């Protein structure tokens, strides 16, 4: 199955470079290019893209606002947003995740990593790489949202989950894959996937990236000297 990709960046040269790279992969196809956030939202609808490769800084409606509109549109429930950021813009990572992005990558990422990232996000996984930024994410996610973000969650939100689902949610927030979790808990990957899907349904989130947001905002997982630590 070919993954349909929409590129949203205000610089034509960057879009052309991404298009050439993505189209070189047999399982990926660029279905459109957008130069503004408004165009990205409109083209996400018209092209039925699977993944939107979204730049944060664009004129008019920026990538964060466009991500929020895509994530909040029930008709685009199957569209995943992969945000591109730079070191200087790392403070936007938490805003992107809160807006509904499925992950982010730095603009200096290697070509193979970008292609792999698109595939990961298209599969419904969270892309919170590179690993060096995980502590940054956890630190930001524990800060109260400002006037432009969502309110910080409360522990009561997790009462709908079973004890096992809470345990798996915490491990997901630490960045473990289904296979890693299965090994740790001595269960099958399919069992882990079932618990993850049930947790997403109960919490009303789109994918694993949003599960990570909930885990940090609810206090289930806390940052401890740059590393996650479990609570309760």
Mean per-residue pLDDT for 151-167? 82
Quote the pTM value: 0.70
Q: What is the pLDDT of residue 195?
A: 95
Residue 153 has pLDDT above 80, yes or no: no
> What mean pLDDT, rounded, does the chain reach?
82
The answer to whether the bond into 130 is cis (omega within 30° of 0) is yes
Structure tokens at 179: 């296979």
- Angle at which helices 163-173 and 208-217 cross, to 10°: 100
CB 7 within 8 A of CB 19: yes
Residue 146 has pLDDT above 70, yes or no: no
In the chain, the domains with their CATH numbers are 3-129 (3.40.50.2300), 155-230 (1.10.10.10)
Q: What is the pLDDT of residue 222?
A: 63
pLDDT band with cut points at 50, 70 and 90 for residue 178: confident
Mean per-residue pLDDT for 74-85? 89
Per-residue DSSP letters for 96-139? Answer: HHHHT-SEEEETT--HHHHHHHHHHHHTT--B--SGGGHHHHHH
Model pLDDT for residues 17-71, shown as the tens digit of each residue: 999 999 999 999 999 999 999 999 999 999 999 999 999 888 889 999 999 999 9
Q: What is the pLDDT of residue 140?
A: 52
- Phi/psi at 66 (nearest 5 deg)? -65, -40
Q: What percent of the chain has pLDDT over 90?
A: 49
Q: What is the pLDDT of residue 184?
A: 95
- For 26, 114, 232, the CA distances from 68, given in Å and listed in that order, are 30, 22, 32
Helix (H, G, I), strand (E, B) or coil at 8: strand
Model pLDDT for residues 132-144, shown as the tens digit of each residue: 345 445 555 555 5
Q: What is the pLDDT of residue 223?
A: 47
Structure tokens at 228: 């996650």
């Amino acid at each position: 199955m070919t993954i349909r990709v929409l590129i949203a960046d205000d610089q034509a040269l960057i879009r052309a470079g991404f298009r050439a790279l993505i189209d070189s992969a047999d399982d990926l196809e660029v279905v459109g290019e957008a130069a503004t956030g408004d165009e990205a939202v409109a083209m996400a609808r018209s092209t039925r893209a699977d993944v939107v490769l979204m730049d944060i800084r664009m004129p008019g409606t920026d990538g964060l606002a466009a991500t929020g509109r895509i994530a909040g549109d029930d008709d685009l429930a199957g569209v995943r947003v992969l945000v591109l950021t730079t070191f200087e813009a790392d403070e936007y990572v938490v805003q992107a995740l809160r807006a509904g992005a499925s992950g982010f990558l730095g603009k200096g990422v290697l070509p193979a990593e970008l292609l792999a990232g698109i595939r990961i996000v298209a599969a419904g996984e969270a892309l919170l790489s590179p690993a060096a930024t995980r502590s940054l994410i956890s630190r930001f996610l524990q800060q109260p949202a400002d006037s432009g973000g969502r309110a910080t969650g409360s522990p009561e939100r997790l009462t709908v989950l079973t004890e096992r689902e809470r345990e798996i949610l915490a491990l997901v927030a630490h960045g473990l894959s289904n296979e890693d979790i299965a090994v740790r808990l001595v269960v099958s990957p399919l069992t882990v996937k079932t618990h993850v899907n049930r947790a997403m349904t109960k919490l009303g989130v789109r994918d694993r990236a949003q599960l990570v947001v909930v885990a940090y905002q609810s206090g289930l997982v806390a940052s401890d000297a740059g590393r996650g630590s479990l609570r309760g």
